Amino acid sequence: MAPWNDGDGTPRYSCLYEPTTATPQHKLPMVVYLHPSLVSADSAKFINLLGSLYNAKLSDSPSREGYILLAPEGRKTSHFYPWPDDSGYGWDNWYRQFNPAGDIKIGSTVYTENVDAAAIDHFIAEEVATGKVDTNRIYLTGWSNGAAMALIYGLSRPNIAAIAIYSGPDPFGAISDPCQQVPVAGTPKNDSEIQIFNSRLAVMHLYNSCDTAGLCANISQRLTDQLHALGIDPKNVILDAMRNQVTSCDASCGTDPNGDASITDNPEGATLGFMNHARWPSAWLPQMFEFLRDHRLIPPPQIGNLN
């Protein structure tokens, strides 16, 4: 797609994989893939998303197989992750001004929109403008830092029906985050809270029982509790090293709900956990697609029209 300059003046890019069957008369669902940190949007080529482009069943209609794949690219920036992931390509889920209205003024201070969110907005809108997208079926998937971004973005955009993500840290507080916040659906009481705008989001989250930096505990405890408080019941799928579903985290890989990236204190998480984290769960893609298909966007009823 043509480059677009974000609010910081940084050129932003996105890859688009559009089946020839997608037309304004034959609209298809769209999946937005957000890549992990330290790699690019080209990583979509090395997992099996492209192999399903023409035949995945993400729609209720049997005549509408396949989907449009949009893969925006992150930017080089600082991360609150341990070395070597403390800077490089990725997504900023720490500056949490994700208001869908854009820039917000509070008193005399203007809080600009998160530029990564604005870039995703732009590329989604550009493809939607072609008329080829089933706008009731715009979905997100992501991996690691991309999964964290997919979650916070999806919680902030009422046009996103569902997400199916892999091994994403809690975007509101994980590892060395200096400003952990609690997501709330209403007006925040102070800076310890952050407002989200899509509490109807359907969430499927796959992650490893032994995951890097103790992420299993971070997701199963801190993040899941926060989503429950928003009225969201995520479908969590915990995987062992053989990619079989299990019921609990491996305590030897970290038990801190904030995560634990210390190789000294959590050597299993830094070794076995990292190896598990670095493998995309290809065998689970049909279940991820099935979850997305089961959750189309249903606009809330208008006042005076509750039928």
pLDDT of the residue at 300: 64
Residues whose CB is less than 8 angstroms from the CB of residue 288 and which lie 6 or more positions away in sequence, other chains included: 141, 164, 204, 206
Q: What is the pLDDT of residues 216-259, one digit of tens each?
A: 999 999 999 999 999 999 999 999 999 999 999 999 999 999 99
- Global pTM? 0.95
Q: How many distinct structural domains can be found in the chain?
A: 1
Average pLDDT over residues 155-174: 98
Contact 201, 163 (CB under 8 A): yes
Of the candidates 180, 142, 173, the one whose C-alpha atom is nearest the C-alpha of residue 160 is: 142
Phi and psi at 123, nearest 5°, equal -70, -35
Instruction: Look at strands 162-166 and 202-208 and give their pairing.
Output: parallel
Residues whose CB is less than 8 angstroms from the CB of residue 99 and which lie 6 or more positions away in sequence, other chains included: 113, 156, 195, 197
- Confidence class for position 281, pLDDT limits 50, 70, 90: very high
Of the candidates 305, 285, 303, the one whose C-alpha atom is nearest the C-alpha of residue 58 is: 285
| 252 within some domain | yes
| 305 within some domain | no
| 151 within some domain | yes
Q: What is the pLDDT of residues 171-219, one digit of tens each?
A: 999 998 999 999 999 999 999 999 999 999 999 999 999 999 999 999 9
Which tokens belong to 27? 């609209």
Phi and psi based region of residue 85 (left: phi greater than 0; alpha: psi -120 to 50; beta: remaining)? alpha
Task: Tell me if the bond preceding 84 is cis, omega within 30° of 0.
Answer: yes
pLDDT of the residue at 21: 96
pLDDT over 50 at 307, yes or no: no
Give me the amino acid identity at 107.
G
Phi and psi at 140, nearest 5°, equal -125, 145
Average pLDDT over residues 5-30: 97
Of the candidates 114, 209, 117, 222, the one whose C-alpha atom is nearest the C-alpha of residue 169 is: 222
Question: Residue 183 maps to which CATH number?
Answer: 3.40.50.1820
| 135 within some domain | yes
Tell me the three state secondary structure of residue 261. coil
| 222 within some domain | yes
| 36 within some domain | yes
Terminal-to-terminal C-alpha distance of the chain: 41
Which domain range does residue 17 map to? 4-293
| 302 within some domain | no
| 304 within some domain | no
